[in-house]
Amino acid sequence: MRFRSLLAVAVTALVVGIAAPARAAGTGPCDLYASGGTPCAAAHSTTRALFGSYNGSLYQVRRWSDGATSNIGVLSAGGYANAAAQDSFCSGTYCTIVRIYDQTSHHNDLTIAPGGGANPTGDQGANAAALPVTAGGHKVYGVYISAGNGYRDNSTSGVATGSAPEGMYMVTEGTHVNDRCCFDYGNAETSNNDTGNGDMDAINFGTECWFSPCAGGPRVQADLENGLFAGGNGSNTANTGRNSAFVAAVLKNNGTTTYAIKDGNAQSGGLATRYNGSLPAQAGYKPMTKQGAIILGIGGDNSNGSVGSFFEGVLTSGYPSDATENSVQSNIVAVRYSNSVSFPANGGTYRLTNLASGKVLDAINCGTANGTLLDVWQPLGNTCQQWKFANAGANKWTLTNVNAGKTLDAVNCGWALGTAVDLWQGLGNTCQQWAVVPAGNGRYELVVENSGMVLDDVNCGTADGTRVDLWMWLNNTCQLWSIAS
């Protein structure tokens, strides 16, 4: 038994962001929205305060070792997250993000999502140490979404319902994406089920093409339920997307006639309008019938195969002006989000040791043929247990078995839980690209890009010959690996 809990009206893109005047210290995005007459109805971030006066908790982590929890706040009112407090609390063990606090007075906190129509199994919380970045010159942590991670609040206050207008934004990464449903942040059904067209109004970011043709990508789209809309009635090749390291994704919907999609480089410049026009002509979208739940990392029906990164985001009451959104973009740019990947070394050769079993990732019988399966085995000091890392993009790596000269591969590019891993000749596809994700204490997750699933020691087995496969992230030591030469 496994030990597991179980996107026509195309418009030419127009850059509308004009550098706003410098803002006084202590002004946050929600202060800007309020000044524009569209106050925040919900505000979530694990990296900083979104009001200039906010001095409360940003998120809560739970420790694996004893189940204890700790709230992570800001260094000072209106400031950045106190990452040192997380590091201290999680020292010697590992932590999961279990709650993301709403910084508004509505208390629309996000907690780990329950099951839904597309996936009845409840989701997992994100590895708290997986996404270290800097903001304002301070070390902070974002929310790293792998397949199976997701957050939700079905009992909100102040969030738009029915045809009421609203706006929203989030800051995400342009390089941590896939084409699975659905990396969303925004308004969704309260029942965890697909209840029909127009019942959602959420930002989606990824490479999924719901209405062909699509252009570029990854792109900001509107998840309005039963479709990821790049603009108009779905297909909009003017929405060519953005793959900068950090992306500001913006959506607004007046609930009756109009919606708009924008994106920007969250590190510099202004916003590009990818679409601004009529709501979809298909039945159910004019007017909208929003239900007012809030989701992060999943679809409205708990479709949870997507990957993505989340640093901050808000939902507003009312339809924000372009001027307000330009000011918010300037505020985001001033945060100076940045990251750097220094491990593993490009071209470096390593052994991967599973934390649960203490055994090493191994090519069975030192096989060299395409299709050779993998297991864990006691260290033998041979090249069948050595892996050469080659950079394939922003925190994407191929792992080549030194003995076989073949690549760590998700068999048949599978998406199913339990998909096997094997050795195969290099194909240059995302089924052979892996993110190396820190978990703390020198251990890492290895996440395959095509499905967002994690390299896993089957059933947490400790015997020589235990197979490895792919599974959703489960916050356990069977999916943690040390990487050492």
CA-to-CA dists, residue 55 to 49, 52, 77, 102, angstroms: 7, 9, 4, 12
Q: Is the dihedral of CA 453, 459, 460, 465 positive or negative?
A: negative
> Hey, what are 39's tokens?
């106050």
> Hey, what are 68's tokens?
């204890």
By DSSP bridging, strand 349-354 and strand 443-448 are unpaired
What's the number of CA atoms in the CB half-sphere (13 Å) around residue 369?
A: 5
Q: Is 225 a catalytic residue?
A: yes
123, 208, 223, 301: which one is catalytic? 301
Q: Is 208 a catalytic residue?
A: no
Beta bridge partners of 469: 420, 456
> Hey, what are 35's tokens?
């000044």
Helix (H) or strand (E) holding 31: helix 29-35
Q: Is the dihedral of CA 464, 470, 471, 474 positive or negative?
A: positive
184, 225, 263, 457: which one is catalytic? 225
What letter does residue 125 receive in the DSSP assignment?
A: P
CA distance 189 to 117: 11
Residues 6+ apart with CB under 8 A from 420: 373, 411, 414, 467, 469, 470
Residues classed as catalytic: 225, 301
